Structure 1
Amino acid sequence: MTNSVFYRIGLPVLVGVVLVATWQLMSNFGMINEIMIPSPAAIVVGFSELVTRGYFWDSTWVTLQETLYGFAIGVSLGLIIGALTGTFQTFRTAFYPFVIAFQNTPRVALAPIFLTWFGFGITSKVVMAAVICFFPVVINTVAGMASVDDNAKMLFRTMGASKSQTFFRLTLPGASAIAFAGVKTALTLALLGAIVAEFVGGSVGLGVLIKELNFQLEVAKAFSVVLFLAVIGLVLYGLIELLERYLITWKQD
């Protein structure tokens, strides 16, 4: 039952339809101020106008580039640092406290600094996206490697396996499921980082578009862009889940 198509896809869609219908009815009866929260119908109309504009798709492409580049850089560095931290005690002792300390800082506050360092172009947004998605990958990778059974490690050593064989045949597969949870979180955070950086100092992108629409009091259109970003996030998350199912075939649902 829980693995059926209806349960995994149909049920969320049904809940979404009910919520949207309730929202629309509340708007129709004046229970919601449409100046503050536009109705779903107004949002659809606003979005239908936006998609006919070339600048909307240009902005979408820029934000996607910032997100994907930042995600690739942040995840790559996160996996490497996480693997080194989980493998070598000296490296963990020396560097992991700094990782935790930096994780607890408000990284959104770094956006103006990156803007000063890298300018108003795409680079500052990519760096922001990379930084904000780096830490979940590091922490989940370390946690995944720590979760590998010590008895299994002992068995590998007694069978004469080298450190590299133990790492690639036991530790890496054993840690991959938890590490991939960090990767999935990182992708949504990369999108968030790109949007925040665009808010602070962008000239093009969906974050800039939302800011401009708010200034113009085009609230319905601004809402439509926000919902469009939510859809992009869901699609990207779904793609990562498909990749996880392909790579981690031994994971149980």
Structure 2
Amino acid sequence: MSYSTTDQTKHISIFKTLPFHLLIFAGLIFLWEMVNLYGFEDQIQADMIAPRPTNIVLAMIDIFIIDQTVWKHLISTFQKALLGASIGTAIGMGLAISATLSLTFRKYIKPWIILMEATPRIAVGPIFVALLGFGLWAAVALAALVAFFGPFVNTFQGLMEIDEEAEEMFRSMGASRFQTFWKLRFASAMELISAGWKLATASAFGGALVAEFIQASEGMGVLISQYVIMITMDYAFAALLSVTIFGFILFKIMDFLDYRLIFWKNDLLLLKESEKRRKKAGVVS
């Protein structure tokens, strides 16, 4: 049994383009350094507006290795963001499934969900602080609210876009409503649903940071605010870059999980899964 070389081509193209991306990145860093050194008459002003990349790297070494200030703040922000993303995703997917299965729900409740999306979520932050107090759960609530809409829209859209011929085939084979939903609708929607998960995670980080800017005793939002107030912009940029790097790592982990879970998107994984199921069923290939 053969499979296509789509994934091999993808990996080859990544390796071919990587040197160009690194070259562009190095060029931008060099330009930034030169602008800081020669683009301002006052070096203090230059360091306040655009601190040198070398100073930012030194600041990162300080907060991660020497002083180790950043770790407790990173853990706090990740905790709020992941809790918020999990809660927002669960609620969003639950409402999307309800809207898919119930015409009444779709008719009367969905418009209110759309209206809630039109409300500026950042403006709700102080209200959550007033209701839930200073601490973890106000930030989690804001992160969940920000994260909620992506999974809702993606799950609803994925579940509603069903192949009618496939659905008719399921019915003709005597599949129950649950079997049709789980093995046809949900499986077909997994690509969109997983995209909603990734969107929720990214959004939740933004929500958690905003909540920390409004109120918190620890977290990356607090740390960045402290550095900005002290006008140590190299440390502020270092803290911001730390969030970006760790957020990117988390996003790539989710990409890997997406790659493994939705195996039918990948020809090689599909082949392996098919072989495994044939062996389990006692079918000789």
TM-score when normalising by structure 1:
0.93
Distance 1:13 1:77, change over 3 A: farther
The CA deviation at 1:124 is 0.7
Q: Distance in 1 between matches of 2:209 and 2:50?
A: 21
Deviations 1:77-107 (A, max 9, x none): 1111111112222211121111111111110
Deviations 1:211-237 (A, max 9, x none): 111010011100111111111110111
Paired amino acid for 2:108: A
8 Å contact kept, 1:2–1:8: no
Distance 1:119 1:7, change over 3 A: farther
Q: Distance in 2 between matches of 1:150 and 1:11?
A: 45
Paired amino acid for 1:44: V
Q: Distance in 2 between matches of 1:205 and 1:75?
A: 22
Match of 1:3 among 7, 11, 15: 11
Query: What is the RMSD computed on CA atoms of the aligned residues?
Result: 1.9
Query: Counterpart of 2:50?
Result: 37
Q: Distance in 2 between matches of 1:127 and 1:11?
A: 41
Query: Counterpart of 1:246?
Result: 260
Match of 1:16 among 18, 22, 25: 25
Match of 1:163 among 173, 177, 181: 177
Q: Distance in 2 between matches of 1:30 and 1:245?
A: 46
8 Å contact kept, 1:35–1:219: yes
Q: Distance in 2 between matches of 1:159 and 1:21?
A: 65
Q: How does 1:1-253 map onto structure 2 within 5 Å?
A: 1-4=9-12, 5-7=14-16, 10-30=19-39, 33-51=46-64, 52-251=66-265
3-state SS of paired residue (2:171): helix
Q: Runs (4+) of structure 1 moved beyond 4 Å?
A: 7-11
Deviations 1:179-207 (A, max 9, x none): 11111111011111100000001111110
**Bigger Cα Rg:** 2
Q: Distance in 1 between matches of 2:164 and 2:19?
A: 42
Deviations 1:133-189 (A, max 9, x none): 011100010111122212211221222211101011100000110111111111011
8 Å contact kept, 1:86–1:141: no
Structure 1 unmatched runs, 5+: none
8 Å contact kept, 2:83–2:140: yes
3-state SS of paired residue (1:64): helix
TM-score when normalising by structure 2:
0.83
Sequence identity percentage: 32
> Across the two proteins, how many residue pairs are aligned to each other?
253
